[in-house]
């Protein structure tokens, strides 16, 4: 019997990742509960289990009194005559260990003991799963689509289920049951019914984590993702920086023939990704962020976090982008309010003095100049809660 118990504990430890020590404590508590149900109290009952052999002993500590008439409580006291039958050395006033036969427990006491063990196993299992996924919070995991729950989706992550809420889904994405998708773990909460895991497909960090897993240089720290701006399902801009002058940050992220970035685009169901070089100079950074539009001049004010950009007339719509998307993402990526004007608009704008910037200094290359601030800058819309 002891051998079977040890094997059962080993299986539970392996499959449920519950330590044997926790299971031994559960068994001890269950035996104490059984004693309490059987005798009405268990304050003086002790349980000892050998961790190696699984042999267990249940005993009650009873005070030895002179005669049976002096016994006021059978659970706490024992007469000297009865004590001598257990130990010939017993004397009045001694605390004697009286063994309790657990086989004599009634059906109800046994059932309660069983429930105590099962409850402890369930609690520990939930705790193990919670800790396992809490460590993965703010990370990307692969899950299997199970079913739609209203407009939300239940996703199996292996040992636990996660919920992909409608607000965290990309518009237009449709998933089929058993389909494997990558999701970003937003938060893991501990509840009486087990861990509640909320995941996202729209969070900018999803793209960042996908690049970390796909691009070796980002994983080892050679290339850093300095900033990221995303409109889920449509376009993402990321600014990257290389700590090694011999490593091209953009090239590392794109990969051979675009292999690395294409793998991420495929995972994001065709979402476009613009990868640009980060620069400490805000003028150059803004110029890079507005890619693929060509820039004639950038005038940035680092204190006000505003910038005025001049582009060729035929590049104005490209710089602004469809429904202002390119300018909006550039503003979010750089943290600057960006006012984009064509060359013709700039020359006609009062106080812009565009001609002052077309000198031999070569501001066309993106050097910034502290300047005034005009109405008409592009500011990203407030993020909806």
Interval 247-297: pLDDT, tens: 999 999 999 999 999 999 999 999 999 999 999 999 999 999 998 899 988
Q: What is the pLDDT of residue 359?
A: 40
Same fold? 136-200, 205-365:
no
- Give the model's confidence band at 382: pLDDT under 50 very low, under 70 low, under 90 confident, else very high: very low
How does pLDDT run across 78-96, given as a tens digit for each residue? 887 777 777 777 788 778 8
User: In this structure, is the dihedral angle defined by the CA atoms of residues 290, 291, 296 and 302, taken in order, positive or negative?
Assistant: positive
Q: What is the pLDDT of residue 141?
A: 94
The chain-wide mean pLDDT, for the chain, equals 83
Q: What is the pLDDT of residue 327?
A: 93
40 to 73, 116, 272: CA distances (angstroms): 12, 17, 71
Residue in the block written with tokens 């109405």: 375
Q: In the predicted model, is pLDDT for residue 366 greater than 70?
A: no
Whether 299 contacts 291, CB under 8 Å: no
- Give the model's confidence band at 350: pLDDT under 50 very low, under 70 low, under 90 confident, else very high: low
Task: Compute the distance between CA of residue 40 and CA of residue 249 in angstroms, rounded to an integer.
Answer: 73
Could you state, in order of their start, the residue ranges of all structural domains in the chain? 2-132, 136-200, 205-365
Q: What is the pLDDT of residue 14?
A: 83
Q: Which residues contact 363 (CB under 8 A, 6 or more apart)?
A: 297, 298, 299, 357, 369
Higher pLDDT, 53 or 331: 331
- Give the model's confidence band at 379: pLDDT under 50 very low, under 70 low, under 90 confident, else very high: very low
Task: Compute the distance between CA of residue 105 and CA of residue 113 in angstroms, rounded to an integer.
Answer: 10
Going along the chain, which residue ranges are E strands?
Answer: 45-49, 56-65, 77-79, 95-99, 140-149, 152-156, 161-164, 180-191, 194-200, 223-231, 235-242, 272-277, 297-301, 306-311, 337-342
User: In this structure, is the dihedral angle defined by the CA atoms of residues 8, 14, 17 and 21, taken in order, positive or negative?
Assistant: positive
Q: In the predicted model, is pLDDT for residue 166 greater than 80?
A: yes
Q: Report the Cα 240 to chain-centroid distance in Å.
A: 24
Global confidence as pTM: 0.70
How does pLDDT run across 52-74, given as a tens digit for each residue? 877 878 878 888 888 777 777 77
- Give the model's confidence band at 333: pLDDT under 50 very low, under 70 low, under 90 confident, else very high: very high
How does pLDDT run across 178-216, given as a tens digit for each residue? 999 999 999 999 888 888 999 999 999 999 999 999 999
53 to 2, 27, 48, 209: CA distances (angstroms): 7, 14, 12, 48
Task: Compute the distance between CA of residue 369 and CA of residue 357 in angstroms, rounded to an integer.
Answer: 9
Task: Compute the distance between CA of residue 307 and CA of residue 329 in angstroms, rounded to an integer.
Answer: 14
Please say whether the structural domain 2-132 has been given the CATH code 3.30.1480.10. yes
pLDDT average, residue stretch 144-161: 92
Locate 113 and state its tokens: 């003991």
Q: Which residues contact 261 (CB under 8 A, 6 or more apart)?
A: 253, 254, 255, 273, 275
When mean pLDDT is compared across 68-77, 175-184, 212-221, 302-311, the lowest value belongs to 68-77
- SS3 call for 64: strand
Please give the CATH architecture assigned to the domain spanning 136-200. Beta Barrel (2.40)
Q: In the predicted model, is pLDDT for residue 369 greater than 60?
A: no
Task: Compute the distance between CA of residue 198 and CA of residue 379 in angstroms, rounded to an integer.
Answer: 31
How does pLDDT run across 227-248, given as a tens digit for each residue? 999 999 999 999 999 999 999 9
Locate 229 and state its tokens: 């701006």
pLDDT average, residue stretch 119-144: 90
Task: Compute the distance between CA of residue 294 and CA of residue 370 in angstroms, rounded to an integer.
Answer: 21
Task: Compute the distance between CA of residue 148 and CA of residue 163 in angstroms, rounded to an integer.
Answer: 10
The secondary structure of the chain in percent helix, strand, coil, rounded to multiples of 5, reads 40, 25, 35
Q: What is the pLDDT of residue 223?
A: 95
Q: What is the pLDDT of residue 116?
A: 83
Q: Which CATH number fits domain 205-365: 3.30.70.60, 3.40.640.10, 3.40.47.10, 3.30.300.20?
A: 3.30.300.20
Going along 66-173, which residue ranges are E strands?
Answer: 77-79, 95-99, 140-149, 152-156, 161-164
Q: What is the pLDDT of residue 383?
A: 41
Locate 369 and state its tokens: 């100049």
Task: Compute the distance between CA of residue 361 and CA of residue 299 in angstroms, rounded to an integer.
Answer: 13
Task: Compute the distance between CA of residue 346 and CA of residue 348 in angstroms, rounded to an integer.
Answer: 5
């Amino acid at each position: 019997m002891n051998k079977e118990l040890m094997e059962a504990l080993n299986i539970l430890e392996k499959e449920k990742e519950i330590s044997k020590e926790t299971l031994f404590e559960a068994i001890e508590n269950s035996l104490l509960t059984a004693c309490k149900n059987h005798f009405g109290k268990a304050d003086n009952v002790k349980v000892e289990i050998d961790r190696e052999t699984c042999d267990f002993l249940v005993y009650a500590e009873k005070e030895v009194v002179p005669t049976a008439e002096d016994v006021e409580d059978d659970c706490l006291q024992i007469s000297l005559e009865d004590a001598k039958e257990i130990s010939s050395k017993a004397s009045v006033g001694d605390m004697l260990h009286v063994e309790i036969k657990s086989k004599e427990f009634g059906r109800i006491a046994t059932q309660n003991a069983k429930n105590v063990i099962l409850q402890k196993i369930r609690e520990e299992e939930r705790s193990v799963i919670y800790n396992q996924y809490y460590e993965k919070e703010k990370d990307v995991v692969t899950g299997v689509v199970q079913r739609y729950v209203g407009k939300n989706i239940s996703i199996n992550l292996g040992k636990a289920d996660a919920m992909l809420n409608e607000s965290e889904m990309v518009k237009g994405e449709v998933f089929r049951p058993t389909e494997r998708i990558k999701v970003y773990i937003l938060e893991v909460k501990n509840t009486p019914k087990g861990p509640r895991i909320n995941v996202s497909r729209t969070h900018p960090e999803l793209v960042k984590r996908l690049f970390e897993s796909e691009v070796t240089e980002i994983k080892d720290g050679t290339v850093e993702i300095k900033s990221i701006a995303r409109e889920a399902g449509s376009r993402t801009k990321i600014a990257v920086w290389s700590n090694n002058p011999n490593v091209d940050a953009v090239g590392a992220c794109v990969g051979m023939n675009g292999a690395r970035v294409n793998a991420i685009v495929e995972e994001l169901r065709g979402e476009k990704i613009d990868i640009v070089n980060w620069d400490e100079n805000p003028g150059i950074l803004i110029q890079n962020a507005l890619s693929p539009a060509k820039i004639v001049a950038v005038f940035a004010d680092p204190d006000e976090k505003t910038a005025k950009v001049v582009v060729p007339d035929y590049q104005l719509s490209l710089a602004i982008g469809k429904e202002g998307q390119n300018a909006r993402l550039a503003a979010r990526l750089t943290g600057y309010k960006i006012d984009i004007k064509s060359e013709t608009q700039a020359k006609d704008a009062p106080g812009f003095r565009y001609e002052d910037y077309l000198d031999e200094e070569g501001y066309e290359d993106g050097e910034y100049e502290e300047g005034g601030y005009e109405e008409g800058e592009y500011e990203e819309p407030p993020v909806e809660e």
